[in-house]
């Protein structure tokens, strides 16, 4: 049985390494040009080179996004850039615009090109159009149901891969092709600079009653009418695999390393459990419980089970649900002394109850009894960003294990 690919977002080198260490088969990232996530740190060519080496040393893949919707001026330097990516041995680039596709194909004919969800591919004929041009992976539009996806995958050639989003933030515009951001703020979503106006609070103004603002939903505080819940398909792994999707894509290049590690870890566990015995696969609610320990909105299954209803929107707030804080990452561990060296990410104090977890292992809990700074001085609190501290661990840990703390702990 061909196993599906688990594809993770990588906003910077740390997130790339975290994604791979926590179970991703491949990562997608943006360079300093031509990609759709200006809000993430993104990668210089030197960073991409280091990331590719890290991934390839572990038999993982790296895809680079070149999925803006460009004007002529935005194509300047594209040939030189894709030549550099090809020389770095990138596994594929992700493109939405036919013009960019043509330039890349003409410049580096053997560079693999994936068609982005921004291209809004929703039907078999469009897929076969791209296939006839040499494309061997399509990222489907997010607006397709399981039935539509299965209808497509039953007909496509065996060497054509289908990628689809299975987790993360949902855009209210069709496959992310948003005009609101540019119109309202001057920030072009189709050039990677979305201001997320779909998360703003809106009221309705009637034409002949200027200045009178009516809540669109029965709520004194107004409504976030465009504010979609987050996509989450962790409970539907068999249906995803059996629909013929070959790559499960996680959204979130601007999310934290903690988010990437936690979400990838849960999907990795669920996918691996399925392949152990597909006929007798049993969903474990612990996987979703873990995902809920990162910053998230309420969840929806998006379009997978036909058109979303009003339940797919969050009307009361655009805020995230944050039950836990990411407070530290293990840098080193001494097995003899049981002392871990930790890089602090949020405030920790003596007496705090913390949870520690790593790839493919259950978390364990302990209370912080003692902490030392990097000079060996005992401390009561670690308040400084990225402060190096030490503490005894009740169970063995490894580099890249993460530490979280409940909001009430």
**Beta partners for residue 202, in sequence order:** 223
Contact 6, 268 (CB under 8 A): yes
The DSSP secondary-structure symbol of 296 reads: B
Distance between CA atoms of residues 102 and 105, nearest Å? 5
Q: Which two tokens stand for residue 396?
A: 């063995």
* Tens-digit pLDDT string for the chain (409 aa): 689 999 999 999 999 999 999 999 999 999 887 765 554 457 999 999 999 999 999 999 999 999 888 889 989 999 999 999 999 999 999 999 999 999 999 999 999 999 999 899 999 999 999 999 999 999 999 889 999 999 999 999 999 999 999 998 766 655 555 666 665 677 766 556 666 666 667 667 777 878 776 665 545 555 555 666 889 999 999 999 999 999 999 998 888 999 999 999 999 999 999 999 999 999 999 999 999 999 877 888 888 987 665 554 554 554 557 789 999 999 999 999 999 999 999 999 999 999 999 998 899 999 999 999 999 999 999 999 899 999 999 999 999 999 999 986 6
Distance between CA atoms of residues 319 and 392, nearest Å? 35
> In this predicted structure, what is the pLDDT of residue 230?
86
> In this predicted structure, what is the pLDDT of residue 376?
93
Phi, psi of 12 (to 5 degrees): -160, 180
Q: Does domain 5-171+227-307 have CATH number 3.40.630.30?
A: no
Distance between CA atoms of residues 400 and 303, nearest Å? 35
Q: Which two tokens stand for residue 314?
A: 């969050």
Which CATH class name applies to 324-406? mainly beta
380: Cα separation from own chain's centroid: 35
Q: Is the dihedral of CA 17, 20, 22, 27 positive or negative?
A: positive
Q: Is the dihedral of CA 339, 340, 342, 346 positive or negative?
A: negative
> In this predicted structure, what is the pLDDT of residue 169?
78
Contact 287, 195 (CB under 8 A): no
> In this predicted structure, what is the pLDDT of residue 50?
98
Phi, psi of 366 (to 5 degrees): -155, 165
Could you tell me the residue ranges of all domains in the chain? Answer: 5-171+227-307, 324-406
Q: Let me know if the fold of 5-171+227-307 is the same as that of 324-406.
A: no
């Amino acid at each position: 049985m061909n196993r599906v690919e688990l594809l993770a977002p990588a906003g910077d080198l740390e997130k790339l390494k975290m994604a791979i260490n926590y179970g991703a088969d491949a990562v997608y990232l943006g360079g300093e040009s031509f990609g759709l996530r200006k809000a993430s740190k993104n990668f210089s060519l030197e960073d991409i080179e280091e990331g590719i080496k890290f991934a390839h040393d572990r038999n993982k893949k790296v895809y680079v996004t070149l999925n803006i919707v460009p004007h002529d001026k935005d194509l300047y330097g594209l040939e030189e850039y894709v030549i550099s990516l090809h020389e770095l041995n990138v596994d594929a680039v992700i493109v939405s615009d036919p013009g960019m596709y043509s330039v890349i194909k003409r410049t580096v004919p053997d560079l693999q090109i994936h068609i982005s969800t921004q291209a809004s591919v929703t039907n078999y004929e469009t897929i076969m159009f791209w296939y006839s041009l040499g494309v061997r992976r399509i990222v489907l539009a997010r607006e397709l149901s399981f039935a539509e996806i299965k209808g497509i995958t039953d007909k496509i050639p065996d060497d054509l891969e289908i990628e689809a989003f299975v987790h993360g933030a949902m855009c209210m515009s069709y496959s992310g092709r948003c005009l609101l951001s540019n119109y309202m703020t001057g920030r072009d979503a189709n050039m990677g600079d979305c201001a997320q106006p779909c998360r703003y609070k809106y009221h309705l103004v009637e034409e002949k009653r200027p200045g009178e603002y009516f809540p669109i939903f029965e709520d004194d505080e107004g409504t976030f009418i465009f504010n979609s819940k987050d996509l989450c398909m962790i409970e539907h792994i068999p249906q995803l695999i059996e629909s013929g999707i070959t790559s499960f894509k996680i959204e979130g290049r601007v999310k934290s390393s903690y988010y990437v590690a936690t979400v990838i870890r849960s999907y990795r566990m669920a996918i691996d459990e399925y392949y152990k015995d597909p006929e007798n696969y049993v969903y474990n609610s612990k996987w979703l419980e873990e995902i809920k320990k990162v910053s998230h909105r309420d969840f929806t299954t998006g379009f997978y089970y036909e058109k979303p209803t009003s339940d797919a929107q969050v009307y009361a707030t655009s805020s995230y649900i944050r039950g836990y804080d990411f407070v530290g990452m293990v840098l080193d561990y001494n097995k003899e002394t049981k002392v871990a060296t930790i890089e602090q990410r949020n405030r920790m104090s003596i007496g705090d109850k913390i949870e520690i977890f790593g790839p493919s292992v259950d978390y364990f809990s302990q209370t912080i009894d003692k902490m030392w700074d990097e000079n060996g001085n005992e401390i009561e609190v670690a308040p400084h960003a990225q402060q190096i501290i030490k503490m005894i661990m009740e169970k063995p840990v490894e580099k890249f294990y993460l530490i979280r703390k409940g909001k009430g702990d």
